[in-house]
Chain A
Amino acid sequence: MTPRPSGSQASPTAFVDNDRTPIGYGRMLRKEDPRFVRGKGQFVDDIQRPGMLHLAILRSPLAHARIRSVDITAAQAHPKVKLVVTGEMLAERGLAWMPTLSSDVQAVLATDKVRFQGQEVAFVVAEDRYAARDALELIDVSYDPLPAVVSVRTALASSAPVIRDDLAGKADNHCFDWETGDARATAAAFARADVVVAQEMVYPRVHPAPLETCGAVAEYDPVDGALTLWSTTQAPHAHRTLYAIVAGLPEHKIRVISPDIGGGFGNKVPIYPGYLCAIVGSMLTGRPVKWTEDRSENLTSTAFARDYVMHGEIAANRDGRILAIRTTVLADHGAFNGVAAPTRYPAGFFGVFTGSYDIEAAYCSMTAVYTNKAPGGIAYSCSFRITEAVYLVERLVDCLAIELGMDPVELRLKNLLRPEQFPYATRTGWVYDSGNYEETLREALRLADYDELRREQAARRTRGELMGIGISFFTEAVGAGPRRHMDILGLAMADGAELRVHPTGTAVLRVSCQTQGQGHETTFAQIVAEEIGIAPADIKVVHGDTDQTPFGLGTYGSRSTPVSGAAAALVARKVRDKARLIAAAMLEVSVADLEWTKGAFQVVGDPAQAVSMAEIARHAHGAGVLPDGVEGGLEAQICYSPDNLTNPYGAYICVVDVDPGTAVVTVRRFIAVDDCGTRINPMIIEGQVHRGLTDGVGMALMEMIAFDEVGNCLGASLMDYLLPSALEVPDWETGFTVTPSPYHPIGAKGIGESATVGSPAAVVNAVVDALRPYGLRHVDMPVTPSRLWEAMNGDPRPPI
């Protein structure tokens, strides 16, 4: 076996100018940045159209209420108001309801009832933003309040009011049941285990809160019957198809443009009522209409993530050999089931809750319920529900370590999958592609100097100081997905790509996915450069416009590099294959006599006889003779469906200090070693990891969308929903190993969400480790000072 690269990316002490532009993989400055550092990005709210009007949405102040009447007379009389629309008016056009990504329906504007605080009730289109807001105040809605279902734990009680009485025959708040694994085999393993540890844990409702809120500019051309929609979407093609279905517009006359997007993190995957309101507003006024939600609207009405109450059990032998894991989950799906996950996976990929371990059996049973809260259940910077799964298993393993009196590293090393077991079929039906887990964990231990940390901890404990060291080892499952079992609303999760090489040897790559900061314009140019030897600077990446790009399912769940990245590599190889035929004719040799040297085809062993890709392109477009059967031009297209997901993984170590007097947790160090297979641009990879680690600290210590007993959202502004600032996070210490994926043409795996998946458990494990002197085994997120203080004083209450 050849030695495999690994290394660390500690923050540089000297600043280096290493901006060589690689032909292919390597550090390269981003092609996106020159416009962003000048303030020349173009985000949706930056779009100005001639005659554009502004739309504002009236939202429900109540979590659950019957609508008695909506009086819009005064609003219509406002001199700057052009249009006021209610749910009843949409119903007359058959547009009051729309499908969600999970085949449920969601009200565009409420007609019968409001079902969560912040739900859309009416909208106003006016001459400017301020006038539209003013007019909302003039709409008089009369509500009959109903009792709200807030607690997921009592949503199925017979006394609970039925939220979804719009669904025929619905007599309770049950949303769905789901199970995976082998209940009987798991029970048998538990029966003969030496040790069983059970722990309930809550993964609270959190919100992706991208810095740019959601919005749209709709421009309907009544002459052509064509709609152009600039919108904050991570999936422009899927959205276009849905608009065609919902609004009844022909798909070829809808153009969805997703310009620069100010962060997505899953929040911009679903279709929100606001987008449809903007479309309707433009169709009815005949003018362009802009809708930009404010921060409260973003936090209270757009898609949340997590909200799982998990009861986990882990069974092991006394020597630390893990036998089985079992869990029951109560899932809060809010008022409408808006989960964004492949159709056959109502719980996303939660089935990977067996983690990175070689166990005998596993079983999960889940019940999902409706509550009077905003819909969602999207992946917040994680592949569908894997954050929840990893948190469950990594907390359970630490609980077991405490029970056994074993070091959590030793326990993990005893149970991690071994390299020879890959591709590995899990007990819940997943195939992990590749891994050398122990190597990655040992790299993290080395970077952290784990033994020294433990010595320091022991010394501090004797002085009454609370220092904790938390370990997390995670396996992601990204790149949805194989078309034989993954689709969203019947659309296969495959991605197109198209590559054209121009006569002068520059190229344009068109991809279906959509960057929200991940740097696709750079990374995808590098992928193509590696394959066809044209410098990335000479390759333009076009994305985010359905008129300009081939069909594909978009960017979320870390699927861009695994799916669209593979498509980009393969379409480039198609171009190279054609170029080889042309090169053979140009050099008057047979194809077999040619070898590819990145950038040129040359006669084997004779560098003097070579033609570059630029020369081939000129010939392909030129007037000369081409080989028999070869068309002119140098371009190709592809639609790629992966054979399997890819499985990036990593080992994380978090070091915290807890103030015994205030229960404030400080993250002192965080060491993250990630393996995402082949590394295309290490600078961008490191940035993706940093982002996820910050998410993890935020979720573990600060973030929660909480509700009071009547369903008022208590996290409705950034004063109430706390996001980490530069003061709450340390300088990240990152490292890497490289284990290519056998299922990906260039061996790459996703990286966008690994750190969000892996880090929350490391932080909580560190906090619990710090509090061993208090005898604590678990504390739920968010570990705020007040909640931790209660736990330290013997009252560790769950947050919901």
Chain B
Amino acid sequence: MQITMMVNGEQVSRDVEGRLLLVHFLRDHLGLTGTHWGCDTSNCGACAVWLDGEPVKSCTVLAAMAGGHEVRTIEGLEQFGELDPIQRAFMHCHGLQCGFCTPGMLMTTRALLDSNPNPTEEEIREAISGQVCRCTGYATIVRSVQWASAEQAGRRTVTDDTSP
């Protein structure tokens, strides 16, 4: 079947099988391999992308269902050659190690900050509870979101502190 959708601001059109999952459409048909696949059962969240601005797990969305809608992936987070504050935050706060869960985490936490610019630790943990990270133990991801929140609000303190 023919499907057409907006992906990262560009219109794409492809002839696909009706059963094709959005994650495989993005990865195998569009070459957008930043979106990862990790579990089959919607548990891990490595495949999270935005569908009309809302995070969804693209392993549980058919590509056809995204037809006529707007999809944003990790490749579309950087705007005009500048990293989003949440991307810089993950680097500053060591919010990633192997990098496999990172695209999904970034899309989910960016969406969180859009709806709640100053989330509490509990709200952050709740927001990422559908995403599995096997490397960080989550604390540095929580700190990353707090860092980005502070960065956006101009609250970040610049010092020469030596804490890690």
Residue ranges of A at the interface with B (Cβ–Cβ < 8 Å):
9, 11-12, 14-20, 26-27, 29-30, 32-43, 45-46, 48, 128-130, 209-213, 260-263, 265, 294-296, 516-519, 682-687, 690-694, 717-719, 723, 725-727, 729, 731-732
Contacts and interface: CB of A to CB of B under 8 A. Distances in A.
A545 B35 CA distance: 24
Nearest to A17: B158
Contact of B39 (A14, A38, A718): A718
A211 B100 contact: yes
Q: Which of A210, A686, A691, A717 has the most CB of B within 10 A?
A: A691
Contacts of A32: 99
A38 B76 CA distance: 9
B106 A726 contact: no
Range for the number of chain B residues in contact with chain A: 35 or more
B126 A130 contact: no
B55 to A, nearest CB: 15
B164 A262 contact: no
Nearest to B84: A37
Nearest to A689: B137
Contact of B28 (A19, A129, A690, A718): A129
B158 A731 contact: no
Given A517-B99, A517-B135, A39 B33 contact: yes
Contacts of A719: 41, 43
B36 A43 contact: yes
B156 A260 contact: no
Contacts of B35: 39
Interface of B: 17, 19-20, 24, 27-28, 31-41, 43-44, 46, 73-75, 77-78, 83, 87-88, 90-94, 96-103, 106, 121, 124-126, 128-143, 146-147, 150-151, 156-164
23 contacts: A11-B139, A16-B163, A32-B99, A33-B96, A35-B99, A37-B83, A39-B32, A43-B33, A43-B36, A130-B20, A211-B98, A212-B98, A213-B38, A262-B38, A263-B98, A263-B134, A517-B135, A686-B94, A690-B140, A717-B39, A725-B131, A726-B131, A731-B142
A723 B41 contact: no
A48 B138 CA distance: 32
A725 B31 CA distance: 29
Q: Which of B87, B124, B163 has the most CB of A within 10 A?
A: B163
A134 B146 CA distance: 46
Contacts of A693: 137
Nearest to B163: A12
Nearest to B90: A37
A130 B21 CA distance: 10
Q: Which of B41, B44, B78, B134 has the most CB of A within 10 A?
A: B134
Instruction: State the main secondary structure of chain A at its contact with B.
Output: loop
B164 A27 contact: yes
A262 B44 CA distance: 13
Contacts of B128: 725-726
A17 B156 contact: yes
Contacts of B121: 731
A33 B157 CA distance: 22
B39 to A, nearest CB: 4
A-B pairs with lowest CB-CB distance, top 9: A39-B34, A517-B98, A262-B100, A36-B99, A690-B137, A39-B74, A517-B97, A718-B43, A694-B137
Contact of A211 (B46, B141, B163): B46
B23 to A, nearest CB: 11
A18 B103 CA distance: 25
Contacts of A42: 33
B19 A130 contact: yes
B141 to A, nearest CB: 7
A30 B139 contact: no
Nearest to B86: A37
Nearest to A7: B163
Contact of B40 (A295, A684, A687, A723): A295
Contacts of A717: 39-41, 43
Nearest to A518: B97
A729 B78 CA distance: 31
A718 B38 CA distance: 10
Given A27-B162, A683-B164, 4 more contacts: A14-B157, A209-B134, A211-B133, A726-B128
A518 B163 CA distance: 19
A265 B134 contact: yes
Nearest to A732: B139
A275 B156 CA distance: 48
A129 B83 contact: no
Contacts of B19: 130
A18 B96 contact: no
Contacts of A19: 92
B161 A29 contact: no
Contacts of A39: 32-35, 73-75, 77, 102-103
Q: Which of B96, B98, B151, B159 has the most CB of A within 10 A?
A: B98
A16 B125 CA distance: 22
A726 B138 contact: yes
Q: Which of A15, A517, A684 has the most CB of B within 10 A?
A: A15
Contacts of B100: 41, 43, 210-212, 262-263, 517
A213 B98 CA distance: 13
Contacts of B130: 725
